[in-house]
Every structure is written in C-alpha cells, then in structure tokens.
Chains A and B, each alone.
Chain A
Amino acid sequence: MPPVETSGRARTGRIVLYLTLTAISVVMIVPFVWMLLTSVKSPGDIAAVPPRLFPTKWAFGNYVDALHAAPFATYARNSFVIAASHTVLNVLIASMAGYALARLRFRGSSLIFLAFVGALMIPTYTKILPEFLIVRFMPLFGGNDITGQGGTGWLDTWWALIIPGAVSPFSVFLFRQFYLDLPVELEEAARLDGLGELGIYARIMTPLVKPAFITVALLTFEGSWNNFLWPLLVTKSDSLRVIQVGLSVFRTENDTQWAFLMAGTTLATVPMVVLFLIGQRYFVQGFATAGIK
C-alpha cells in the first residue's frame, strides 16, 4: 500500500480496518478480562443476575482464600519443576540430535530424520495408552519385579511426569532446520584447527543459533506447563498434581466457587502470557520457521 493516500475513500477504508481489528482484538481479550474481574468479585456479585462487569466491592482477598481452599501454590511449583526439566532436557538432547542430523551425515541419518518427521504425525492418543502401560509396568520401580508385575511402576512419581516428555520430535526438527542454515566453511575451519566434532557443535555452531535455543526453550516450557491429560493419567496424590489437573479437580470438587477458580486460572495463565510478551519475537520466529521452511 502506498505510504500517503489522502483520498476520502482510503480514509474510510482505514477507519473500517481499524474498527474491525479492534473488534477482533477485544473478542480475543475479553475472556481474560472477565477472568480477572471474576477473581476479585464477592459471592454476591458473582450470583448477580444479570451479571455486572465490575465488582461492587473489590475482593482481592480471594487470592489468599483460594490458596487456602486448594494447594494452588504446590500445583504451580510442580508445573514449574516439570516444565523447567522438560525445557533443559529438550534443549540439550534435541539440539545434539538436530545438529547431528543437519551437519554430520552418517549412514542412516536421513532415515532417522524421516523417522522423526514421521513421528510428528503420530497422534498423542495413539501413543498415550501404551505409554501409560510402559509407565505402569516399568520393571524394578514402585514395587514392580523384573517383569514389571506386582507394583505400580512409575505411576504417581516424578519419573512419569518428566521422562516421557524429555525429548520431542518437534524440537529435533526445529533444531535441524536452524543448524542447516549455518555456513559449511565455519565447520571446516574449526576442523582444520583440530577441534573435535563435539567441540565444533558446542563451541562454534551452537552460539550461532542462540535464537533457536530460546525458541525451543519457550515452546517446550509453554507446552509442558499447559499439558493436562498425561499428568492427569499418571498422578494420583495431591502433592504431585500440576496446576492444570489441580484446577480441573478443584472445579469438580467445589462446583460453584467461581471466584477461587478464576483466581487459580489466573495463576495458570498469567505466567504464560508474561513469558509470551517477553519472548514474543522467539515464539513468532519458532512458528514461522516451522511454517515456512
């Protein structure tokens, strides 16, 4: 579009454009506003028919009360520990694999890459039942004997929450795409200088794809924090519950406590919104890279 257009038609077009985009944005944001406002409403305001947008009395104490009603702080801590573990493991293991597949061609490497791409297509719901069984029958854990019988295996343990999500094929795929773009001369020069392959990966090439690391780290953290079904299946005790599972349990056990529920929901969503606002560039780059390359 040309920079200066002063005709009346163009101006009307621009106003319509702004109004449309504003309306769409408002629709996207309103549920979060409603969540925040509900979380500071008194029971009387919540039961009001028709509902009012703003609370008559701002009940900020709801947040303290919610933490007493359910161990949301423990839930959030668990989610954080798991998400952080997944992030570190994914970044380490997937970057090595992605690097090897992009730069160190060896017999079978293209086959392995194809297998990872194929793995992207396999639905979670096809894998999740056998994964549950593997966890349940993990030999020599949780009272199981060497054949995996007799106990509960990894069920209701940190192992089950952390190990299966330690590497995702998508991270391997993303890292490979980023490493592919580096110039081959750098690698050759380092090799001539007598640097080993691991050294070239860690000291020469990896510093050049820092954005890839931030992107994979952010996407992994976000995915792990937001995950629900797997932690629901493999945990039972309250002390191991993650925030998403904790919220859904709180809702079924305390059906009508909307203010507390929305306070908990705020706790579950706000960290991700903040993370996104800080790392927006990398989120966008991650999705765009996956989408365009």
Chain B
Amino acid sequence: MAPTRDRVRATASGPSAAPPRGRGLQRARRRAGLLMVAPAVLHALIWIGIPLVAAVVLSFTSYDVLTPPRFIGLENFRDLLSDNVFRRAVLNTSIYTFFTVPVAMGIALLIALMLNTRLAGRAIFRTAIFIPQVTATIAVALVWLWIYDPRSGLANAVLSFLGLDGPAWLSSTDWAMPAVIVVGIWQGIGLKMLIYLAALQSLPTDLYEAASVDGASKFRQFFSLTLPLLRPATFFVFVTSVIGAFQSFDQVYILTDGGPANSTTMMTYEIYKSAFREFRMGYACAQSLVLFALLLFLTLLNRRITGGDRATR
C-alpha cells in the first residue's frame, strides 16, 4: 500500500517531472516540513531523548539528588544481580505478564470470535467488555480493593453464597498475586478483544468460501486461515500489551504496596521505591534499563515468531 503511494508521489513531484518552479517549491516544502515537525521533535528531545541518555549515564553513578552524582562504574548492575527483591520483582512481572498478555489474549480472541457473528445486541456486549479499559486504574483499583475486603467485600460474599470460604486475598502471600492479575485481565481484555474483532471483520470472506467449498471444517479454517491472517493483529496486541503489563504500577500501588512479603512487587514498583523512597537515583536508573532491555527482547522475539511487524510500516 505505502510503496505504491510513494511511487506516485515520486513521479508526480520528482525533479524530472517538476515544472519550472519546481525547485523553489521543493525548497518551500522542505522548509515547511522542518518547521512543522520542529515543535514535536524539540519536545521529544527534551522529554524523551535527554532522559534516555541521562538514564544510561546515571546508571553508572551513585546519586541521591541532593549531592552531585558520583561515578561508580558497574557497581549498580553488580548490586542488581544480588538483589533478591528485584529478582522477585522480575519474576512477579513475568508471572503477571504471562497471565495478562498471552492468556488474556487467548480469552480475548475467543470473545472476539463470539462477537464476530450475526448477533442482536452485539454493540452492548462490546461496550460492556470495553468500559473498564477507559476508566482510571487508580479508581478501579480502589473499587477492587473494596471488593477484595475479606469481611465486607463482594468477592468473599459471592464465594460464601457458593458455599466456599474466601481467602484474605490481598493480605495473603498466595492470593495477592492472583487478585492483582484478575484486575489486570479485567481491565485489559476489552482492548485486546476490540483489536481482534476489528481484524476479524476485515478478513477476506472469499477465502472462507473457497475453504468451505474445499470441505475444510470450521475448526480447520480457524487454524489454517484465521490464525495466520490475524498475525499482524496478534503482533500489535502482544507488543502493546507487553509494554503495558511491564509497566503496571497503579494497581499494585493501591492494592498491595508490593506486599505481602514482596509477593506482588513489580519491576516498576522497585524502580519507584529505589528512586523516591530511598533516593537511590543511579540504582533506580539501572533497574529501569533492565526493564527496557527485557521489553526490547520480548518485542524482537515476538517479531521473529509472528514473522512481521506491519504495525510500524
């Protein structure tokens, strides 16, 4: 799609086809382009470019904000290797990401498939499932905090109605993480479903007709046609969801404060604690670079597996 358009533009406005005034026009265009992109580039340089470089530089220092940073080489990274809490945070983030990304993506695809049928009230279902996505994580986490209340909360009320004895949820080392994961899935599944649904609706129907004529079962059609055709959507959902899951913070801040006994602390939470509770800026920067590196690794890995990234074309 894009290459064709570029070719059209090249022949329409390239030097050979340009009218006599072409050179001046081209210069005006270049100048306008630079001018229009300048504010955004300047903003990105100050608030993304410099911070990225600063994070790398500061990760080699010991810095408490009040006194100037002191170069300490790789000491922060060496400390990281023996930091059991941070290792726990990496593990927790991975567990959380596993359930709120691949597992939730599977559920979201199932819902999308159910909604991709002729169905009265489809828009109502879609809206209901998507609404948690647009509400603030802080606000909904406060609602869930109340739902998880062991005595007067809704969760244990429903369980006791079913004849089960509910756990102490957020103060239990076994149940706090599942509780946080449930909130993550609940809030994030709508977006995944929506993107899958949009992708499903743009699939070419003639392929399915051909497959039906050839006698391929619905089951076979799903695995041989639908799943491969959904690859770009899968890649996009995966990348954006992993970026989101790795950066979950608000729900942990409200629900558990990383506890009990670090059972729900995440990498983001450790970065926050190092930087703003212990004022170890250099160490926090080193932690944040580990987070970045893991994200890059997962994205590239998924790109290899799904075999293409049409999202950034």
Contact = CB atoms under 8 A, between A and B. Distances in A.
A243 B131 CA distance: 19
Interface string A237-267: 0000001100110010000001001100100
Contacts of A117: 312
A292 B132 CA distance: 22
A3 B311 CA distance: 34
B131 A268 contact: no
A106 B34 contact: yes
Contacts of B114: 17, 20-21
Contacts of A30: 154
B52 A126 contact: yes
A26 to B, nearest CB: 8
B195 interface: yes
Contacts of B30: 104, 106-107
A104 B199 CA distance: 30
Contact of B39 (A17, A96, A122, A291): A96
Contacts of A3: 118
Interface of A: 1, 3, 17-18, 20-22, 24-25, 27-32, 34-35, 38, 46-51, 93-94, 96-97, 99-101, 104-107, 109, 112, 115-117, 119, 121-134, 136, 164, 166-167, 169, 172, 180, 184, 188, 191, 196-198, 201, 222, 225-226, 228-229, 233, 243-244, 247-248, 251, 258, 261-262, 265, 268-269, 272-273, 275-277, 280, 283-284, 287-288, 290-293
Interface stretch (B76-84, B173-181, B285-293): B285-293
Interface string B273-313: 00110000100110011011001100100000000001111
A106 B29 contact: yes
B233 interface: yes
B33 A288 contact: no
A290 B309 CA distance: 12
A136 B65 contact: yes
B243 A123 contact: yes
Interface of B: 2, 5, 8-9, 12-13, 25, 28-30, 32-34, 36-37, 39-41, 43-44, 46-48, 50-52, 54-55, 58, 65, 111, 114-115, 117-119, 124-125, 127-132, 134-140, 142-147, 151-154, 156-157, 160, 186, 190-191, 194-195, 198-199, 202, 232-233, 236-237, 240, 243, 246-247, 249-250, 253-254, 267-268, 271-272, 275-276, 281, 284-285, 288-289, 291-292, 295-296, 299, 310-313
B131 A229 contact: no
B20 to A, nearest CB: 13
Given A97-B37, A287-B194, A198 B142 contact: no
Contact of A133 (B65, B115, B125, B232): B65
Among B44, B160, B243, B289, the most chain A Cβ lie within 10 Å of the Cβ of B44
B33 A225 contact: no
Contact of A229 (B37, B199, B272): B272
A47 B153 CA distance: 10
Contacts of A32: 131, 135, 143
Contacts of A121: 243, 295-296, 299
Contacts of A180: 2, 5
Contacts of B276: 233
Contact of B40 (A172, A225, A233, A248): A172
Given A99-B36, A119-B48, A127 B195 contact: no
Given A99-B36, A127-B55, A292-B199, A258 B44 contact: no
Given A31-B147, A104-B30, A105-B33, 18 more contacts: A1-B118, A21-B115, A25-B129, A27-B186, A28-B128, A97-B37, A100-B32, A100-B34, A104-B29, A116-B40, A126-B55, A129-B51, A188-B12, A198-B36, A244-B138, A244-B250, A273-B134, A291-B237
Given A21-B125, A105-B33, A284-B194, A126 B140 contact: no
Interface of A is mostly: helix
A287 B195 contact: yes
B40 A96 contact: yes
B44 A100 contact: no
Centre residue among A28, A172, A244, A248 by max chain B CB count within 10 A: A28
B146 A262 contact: yes
A170 to B, nearest CB: 10
Nearest to B312: A117
Given A112-B41, A134-B50, A24 B111 contact: yes
B138 A228 contact: yes
Given A134-B50, A229-B250, A50 B157 contact: yes
Nearest to A96: B36
B41 to A, nearest CB: 6
A228 B137 contact: yes
B131 A276 contact: yes
A229 B271 CA distance: 12
Contacts of B145: 251
B80 to A, nearest CB: 15
